[in-house]
Structure 1
Amino acid sequence: MAAAQPIKVVALCGSLRRASYNRGLVRAATEICNESIKDVQIEYVDISPLPFLNTDLEVNGTYPPEVEGFRQKIRQADSIFFAAPENNYSVSAPLKNAIDWASRPPNVWADKAAAVVTAGGGSPRAQYHLRQIGVFLDLHFINKPEFFLNAFQPPQKFDSDGNLIDADSKERLKQLLFSLRAFTLRLQGKAE
């Protein structure tokens, strides 16, 4: 009997800063899956090379190479893991730009499971706005557990390189990843 295909998760970080706490959550999620959730494979996809959305760049139904490569990664994924910092009560400009490129016809977000995490001051506004955007995209977010991490409240959650070091936060992140795994399988009509 053949082994089941691993669940392919694309991880996107709305912060472009190398040592951002949100990027640290992506690294921690990847480590957790490598150690504890072996049938889930997370691939971090860098959104910084994407040009600003400009439909003048669409020529005869094609997209610039970096956009098409990004769209293919989303298309091939089973689910999406968003690390979404909050900017002015909303998602960051780089993340919104990536979302918009992948929503151009044909929308490659549709019918995928998704999870969202946020590190920073702990505000839920960006997550809730991203969930609203997901309704239009036909992107299905897990409801529980929610993951907001106030990175500035003791005890220290991240090291100086932006790596998650707090054991309780890692455990909460692990539970979110198990939930994403289960929801992805359910959307695909596969039993656990």
Structure 2
Amino acid sequence: MAATVGAQSVIKVAALCGSLRKASFNRGLIRYAVQLVKESAVTGIEIDYVDISPLPMLNTDLEVDGTFPPVVEAFRQKIREADCYLFASPEFNYSITGPLKNAIDWASRPPNVWADKAAAIVSAGGGFGGGRSQYHLRQIGVFLDLHFINKPEFFLNAFQPPEKFDSEGNLIDLPSKERLLEVLVSLKAFTLRLQGKC
């Protein structure tokens, strides 16, 4: 939960990327969000990137006497301890990716550790910039009792000139950087509101 530094609460953000590729554009969005926090462009939050790649495919046979495999329990603990979430959600076939859905499902196993938290979604891709995946993720969030910020929305067409990312998947587009900062500011404010701190 939120830690206190001096008189200010520090919001703990768990950041998840639906792409497993290291140089993915969506992973690049999270890297830049982490950089913004380190540079104090937005204060009062810390971002922990939560790697979903080690998670096994959901199989309730792996749950034994109410316990989860160690890697799943470690993941669930990180989700439980966060104050809010930042999802970078690429679009596969008009929806979220298999790895992200798998991670969501593991953390929703009883007791659901997503519930009553704030969340934001960013995405990069072709066409609509991952927008359809965002809408699907919002639908899933209804059942999970996740509360997504409504604005600003962040959909980025990564293939429309000018270049938005470098060859390693790092965000280089200044207007997109500014919009991502706005998302983090909004997520922080909404999280504090849900916690009754503002």
Q: TM-score, normalised by structure 2?
A: 0.95
Q: Distance in 1 between matches of 2:143 and 2:62?
A: 23
Structure 1 stretches lacking a partner, 5+ long: none
Question: Which secondary structure state, in structure 1, belongs to the residue aligned with residue 100 of structure 2?
Answer: helix
- Please say if 1:174 is aligned against 2:193: no
Structure 2 unaligned blocks of 5 or more: none
Matched, 1:27 2:31: yes
Q: How do residues 103-142 of structure 1 correspond to structure 2 at under 5 angstroms?
A: 103-121=108-126, 122-142=129-149
What SS does structure 2 have at the residue aligned with 1:87?
coil
Counterparts of 1:1-192 in structure 2, within 5 Å, are 2-35=6-39, 36-121=41-126, 122-191=129-198
Return the offset for 1:32: 1.1
**Number of residue pairs the alignment of both structures matches:** 191
Distance 2:106 2:162 in 1: 38
d(CA) in 2 for partners of 1:159, 1:124? 22
Query: Share of identical aligned residues, percent?
Result: 73
TM-score (norm 1): 0.98
Provide the rounded CA distance (Å) in 2 between the counterparts of 1:124 and 1:95.
15
Q: CA RMSD in A?
A: 1.0
